[in-house]
Amino acid sequence: MSLTNTVCAPIKFGLRVIGIWPESYNFLYRIFWTISLGLAQIFQFKYIIICIKTANFLDLVDSISTTLPYSLLCLKLIILWYNQGLFNNILTSMSRDWESWIGDTVTFNMRTMRTMRIMMNKTILSYRCSLLIIGVYSIAVVVYVSVIINYNNNDNDRKENQLFLKMEFPFFYDFFPVYEVVMFVQFIQLLSNASIIGMLDALILTLIFHVSGQIDIMCQGLDDFFSKDFKHKSYKNMKSAIICRHQNIITFSNNIESLFSYIALMQFLTNTLVICCIAFMIVIIAWIDLWLKATTNTSDPAPRPPPFAQSNRAVPSIIKLN
């Protein structure tokens, strides 16, 4: 973790990988993610189209809930790439805030230790929260993958092996070693995409922590400004510093709003749809479970499950990447 910037090392690495961090290899990274996510989305939407044509409603709902997070990630990357200049302004503002803190050692020695404590506390908190968010997303992928593997190992009545992501490939994959290669590639893509999604969420949290730290520093300056021990000789300098910091906070907040407002809206909509899909899957699973118990424990005719619940290919994907 760098002690001179609120953006921690995992977030910096993730921003470099997706071609957002200012450097000379951004174009290559963007080409890689465009091809990778583009192919994945094509195969996923082909599977959705097949489910619609075959009236396989259960598979359709399940595949939509796994496709939407990928589509959301694509839109996030497009917005960030398009607003590269705005993102650079945000990074510049953060660096300027740290440089102004270093300048405080010359102008406001009495406030230096408290300012340093506020900024370092926000940096440490941001670092821990970022690791927690990225770790949770990675653990979710491992749990999801283990569920699919367990299903493939225990279900002897299946017609074909289940993939981690529901896709329709232009080739036959259900034989060794093609199936293992496809599963490995999907696992790597799942893990990398989940880490990037978690990194972007951690980035938003990091920016919020930085703004809150600057607000705390400004409030500290106001307390010192109106204290009895304040020296009148530095009145103008102190007033100018407080006004300048307040203007910087407003500008920084407006930049964050301009960059992430549409991302937040799309994330809200897609997460709502994913939650609805997962809830629907849970209801159908409960219905089927009750139907099986009724047919095995009693001799009375049991209610038939709904037609869209009769699917041999569907595996409930309860754990999703949001």
The SS3 of residue 231 is: coil
Closest to 215 in 3D by CA, of 181, 184, 252, 182 = 252
| Separation CA 170–CA 160 (nearest Å) | 16
**Average pLDDT value for residue range 96-103:** 70
Query: Tokens 């497009």 label which residue?
Result: 78
Residue 240 tokens read as 């100018």
- What does the DSSP 8-state code read for residue 321? -
Kindly report the backbone phi and psi dihedral angles of residue 303, in degrees, each rounded to the nearest multiple of 5, phi listed first: -65, 140
**Looking at per-residue confidence, does 286 or 130 come out higher?**
130
Q: Is residue 232 very low, low, confident or very high in pLDDT (cuts 50, 70, 90)?
A: low
Q: Is residue 44 very low, low, confident or very high in pLDDT (cuts 50, 70, 90)?
A: very high
**Average pLDDT value for residue range 308-315:** 48
Which pLDDT does position 22 carry in this prediction? 85
Lowest mean pLDDT among 2-16, 52-66, 110-124, 301-315: 301-315
Residue 271 has pLDDT above 60, yes or no: yes
| Separation CA 255–CA 249 (nearest Å) | 10
